[in-house]
Amino acid sequence: MTKNKSAQVSVIALWVLIILAIMAVSVGRRVSLGLRLSGYQRDSLKAFYLAKAGLNRSIVELQKYQVNPYSSLSESWSTGIDSSTHTSILREIAATGKPGESFNSVIIDEESKLNLNIPLQNNFPDQLVKQILSELIVSRDQSMNLADAGEISDLLADWIDDDSNLISGGKEDASFKNKKLDLPEEFLNVLEYYYQSKRNPQYRDQARILYNKIKDMITVFGSGEVNLNTVSPGLLSLMFEAQRAKDPALLAVSPELLAQKIVQFRQNGIFDSKLAADIANKLALSGVNISSEEQACLSGLERYLCVKSSNFLIESTGVAGNVSKKILALAQIQNTLPGKIIAWYQN
């Protein structure tokens, strides 16, 4: 009996030990998971505030130039480099005394892009802007021709005008907004409608593909004018191409060559006027001459150009440990007024 009791006690003790071991492992795993979650939450909060720091630093940098009569890619908000110390002020900025913690901020001039809120005259689109948008679509999507792209441009005009009639004839669908676009992504609705009207079963995918091809050159923010100092060579060339198509007297103008002359000047100079005569004088003083036809091409675009921007997209990313947080903000910087955030997105 004594031996049996001793064996039973041993078995019970062994089971107790096993149960305690299982409980210890379980508690240990829970504690480890809790520590990892709290670490992630801590780093997530740090990364978010680092991203906010990058956003605030970007606005401060933009405000340095708000009294200038122009905006230029040579300014520190664009280069990310302080011109006096030649040190980085926006790119990969480490938190003081905090290894593995930093922010990176990139600022993009929204007025270097084509504004999708096409100017309307009696609910018909401005023909030059329509042509520029059509040229942009064709240049980025080889399956499109100018007629197809023109149809999309007309649909966009119908989408934002205040009547219920289609430019092509007939009545607009109830889904049309009949107001200006608030976000560039709203153009996806127009593209989806276009592809759906063509009986394309993958209309959503096709709309997204085309949108992704042109999204770096389109905006809905600003006055609609394109900044001559910051516009990309590609969009500038398309603008010259559209103006040449409008005026037969400009057939001798090479859009690519004229855009190249403008961009070449911008490497060491800044345009402080959008007037064609002033642009020609600036180019001549730098040793770059333009023909009378090229000057006429610039003159035809004067009302579509500017040299000063007020709307900037800021992409600020904060990193802490293995966690990163991104903030996208649309900042409006006007004259001597404080910088204002008019749109905000965060992941």
Angle of CA points 40, 43, 47, to nearest 5°: 135
Least confident stretch, 80-84, 182-186, 281-285: 80-84
Local confidence band at 346 (pLDDT 50, 70, 90 cut-offs): confident
Q: What is the per-residue pLDDT for 153?
A: 94
Q: What is the per-residue pLDDT for 275?
A: 97
Cα Rg, the chain, nearest whole Å: 29
Q: What is the per-residue pLDDT for 347?
A: 73
Distances (CA, A) of 39 to 46, 94, 105, 205, 322: 11, 20, 25, 39, 10
Q: For all residues of the chain together, what is the average pLDDT?
A: 90
Local confidence band at 125 (pLDDT 50, 70, 90 cut-offs): confident
- pTM for the structure as a whole: 0.85
- Fill in the DSSP letter of residue 234: H
- Rounded to whole angstroms, the Cα distance separating 237 from 329 reads 29
Q: What is the per-residue pLDDT for 4?
A: 66
- Fill in the DSSP letter of residue 318: E
What one-character-per-residue DSSP string does 180-196 give? Answer: --SSGGGHHHHHHHHHH
Q: What is the per-residue pLDDT for 15?
A: 78
Mean pLDDT of the 133-155 span: 94
